[in-house]
Amino acid sequence: MECRVLSIQSHVVRGYVGNKSATFPLQVLGFEVDSINSVQFSNHTGYGHWKGQVLTAEELNVLYEGIKLNNVNHYDYILTGYSRDISFLETVVDIIKELKKANSSLVYVCDPVMGDQGAMYVPENLLPVYKNKVVPLADILTPNQFEAELLTGRKINTEEDAIEVMDLLHKMGPETVVLTSTDLPSKQGDQFLVALGSQKIKKPDGTNTDQKICMDIPKVDAVFVGTGDLFAAMMLAWTHQHPKDLKTACEKTVSVMHHVIKRTITYANEMAGPGKRPTPAQLELRMVQSKADIENPALVVEAKILQKSSQ
């Protein structure tokens, strides 16, 4: 497999978020990963302390120029995640447009990181940039419920709402949308959360079809950081292997998440000791230790197909 990914995300010295979370798993699965680090921090911002430096939009442009001058600005995938800076995000958009001109088959996997549980944790003025410039270029989008609601201006209270929101997101650009987590009640009870996905596919005869799926995912009683970044990276990998089979791509992605998270929470609880809540340092994803699960995830979840209609 000769597949090259450009990943523009954060770098932390210690721990697994951003590029640290995405790069090793993708390389283990055989992808060549070129990474531009949008920041270099000592660790993620959930620790007691964090220190480091950010890359400006100018500096990002300079790095891209270097790649371009050598005529190696050819990628099969682009992957982006957390960003706090409008001008940085707009420069990312320009780069993606240029890369899509260089390779019209390029797939842009976008995690539109804006917030969760009803609150934004990036500056508000990023929303119009995502809505008007970023999402229209995206091919695969991995919003959570809050981000999907923000982007479409529609609330999700039922499964029907979720389907409508995913269809609205398709209209904005991406052919593949995964709602990575929602508050919708799970049929398996309150120890589970509901995730949904939707993929538009063009059939050989020219007609459109779409596959919509939903999954019940076990909740874990801890705050993890970097899991969304791992999710987006694994969606890239598994949709690459299964480009017209969202069901399988999602089952593999969610299964990898499950194995990594379980290994992490077990280790974190061991480190913390009985009755104590693990610290952010103890909760860092057990990425290196999960190599076998990343390479070949045993399936632990079965996605349900909601509707498969032709127009």
Partner 1 sequence: TSFTLPLLGFEVDSINSVQFSNHTGYSHWKGQVLTADELHVLYEGIKLNNVHHYDYVLTGYTRDTSFLEMVVDIVQELKRANPNLVYVCDPVLGDHGSMYVPQNLYPVYKNKVVPVADIITPNQFEAELLTGKNISTEKDAVEVMDLLHAMGPDTVVITSSDLPSRLGDRFLVSLGSQRHVRPDGSRTTQRVRLEVPKVDAVFVGTGDLFAAMLLAWTHHYPTDLKTACEKTFSVMHHVIQRTISYAHELAGPGRRPSPPQLELRMVQSKADIEDPAIVTEATVIS
Site residues (vs partner 1, CB under 8 A): 11, 13-14, 23-24, 27-28, 30-32, 36-37, 40-43, 47-53, 55, 59, 62-67, 69-70, 72, 281, 287-289, 291
Label residue 71 left, alpha or beta by phi (over 0 means left) and psi (-120 to 50 means alpha). left
3-state secondary structure of 119: strand
3 state SS of 46 = coil
Which value, in Å, is the radius of gyration of the alpha carbons in the chain? 19
Is 229 annotated in the active site? yes
Q: Name the DSSP letter for residue 283.
A: T
Name the residue type at position 100: K
Contact between 144 and 179 (Cβ < 8 Å): yes
Task: Give the three-state DSSP class for 87.
Answer: helix
Least spacing, CB of residue 21 vs partner 1, in Å: 12
- We find the least distance from the C-beta atom of residue 256 to partner 1, in angstroms, to be 16
Q: How many CB atoms lie within 10 A of CB 4?
A: 15
Instruction: List Cβ neighbours of 161 (8 Å cut-off, separation of 6 or more).
Output: 154, 155
Q: Which residues contact 84 (CB under 8 A, 6 or more apart)?
A: 122, 123, 126
- Beta bridge partners of residue 216, listed in sequence order: 194
Surface-to-core class of residue 71, CB atoms within 10 Å of its CB (0-12 exposed, 13-18 middle, 19+ buried): exposed
Q: Which one is catalytic: 210, 216, 229, 293?
A: 229
Query: Smallest distance, Å, CB 27 to partner 1?
Result: 5
Euclidean distance between CA atoms 38 and 57, whole angstroms: 9
Beta carbon nearer to partner 1, 62 or 298: 62
Q: Are 223 and 265 in contact (CB under 8 A)?
A: no
| Of residues 65 and 183, the one with the C-beta less far from partner 1 | 65
Helix, strand, coil shares, percent, the chain, to 5: 40, 25, 35
Residue partners of 252: CB distance under 8 A and separation at least 6: 234, 238, 241, 242, 297, 299
Question: Which parts of 183-230 are beta strand (E)?
Answer: 192-202, 208-218
Q: Tell me how far apart the alpha carbons of residues 187 and 166 are, in angstroms, rounded to a whole number.
A: 21
Return the active site residues: 229
